[in-house]
């Protein structure tokens, strides 16, 4: 029982970390695409 809880808790932390990184990357790629498509890349 305790072992399951422990495993779930570890998996949750790992999933949250990976999920956070993926969401941050999706937002970054979205912003890059918007900037590139609007031609506002600067010099």
Partner 1 sequence: MSDASLGKETIETRVNTDLTRVSDYFALLKPRVMSLVVFTGLVGLVVAPGSLHPVLAITALLCIAVGAGASGAINMWFDADIDAVMERTQERPIPAGHVSANEALAFGTVLSIASVVLMGLAVNYVAAALLAFTIAFYVFVYTMWLKRRTPQNIVIGGAAGAFPPMIGWAAVTGDVSAESLVLFAIIFMWTPPHFWALSLWRDIDYAKAGVPMLPVVAGRDVTRRQIVLYSALLFPVAVMPYVLGYAGVFYGIGAAILSGLFLVLALRVWRQKDEESAKQLFAYSLLYLFLIFATLLGESLVRTVI
Q: How far is the CB of 21 from partner 1 (least distance, A)?
A: 11
Which of 22, 23, 26, 28 contacts partner 1 by CB under 8 A? 28
Q: Is residue 37 at the binding interface for partner 1, with CB under 8 A as the rule?
A: no
Q: How far is the CB of 31 from partner 1 (least distance, A)?
A: 5
Q: How far is the CB of 6 from partner 1 (least distance, A)?
A: 5
Q: What is the 3-state secondary structure (H, E, C) of 1-43?
A: CHHHHHHHHHHHHHHHHHHHHHHHHHHHHHHHHHHHHCCCCCC
């Amino acid at each position: 029982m305790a072992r399951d809880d422990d495993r779930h808790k570890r998996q949750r932390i790992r999933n949250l970390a990976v999920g956070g990184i993926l969401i941050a990357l999706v937002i970054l790629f979205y912003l890059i695409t918007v900037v590139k498509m609007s031609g506002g890349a600067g010099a």
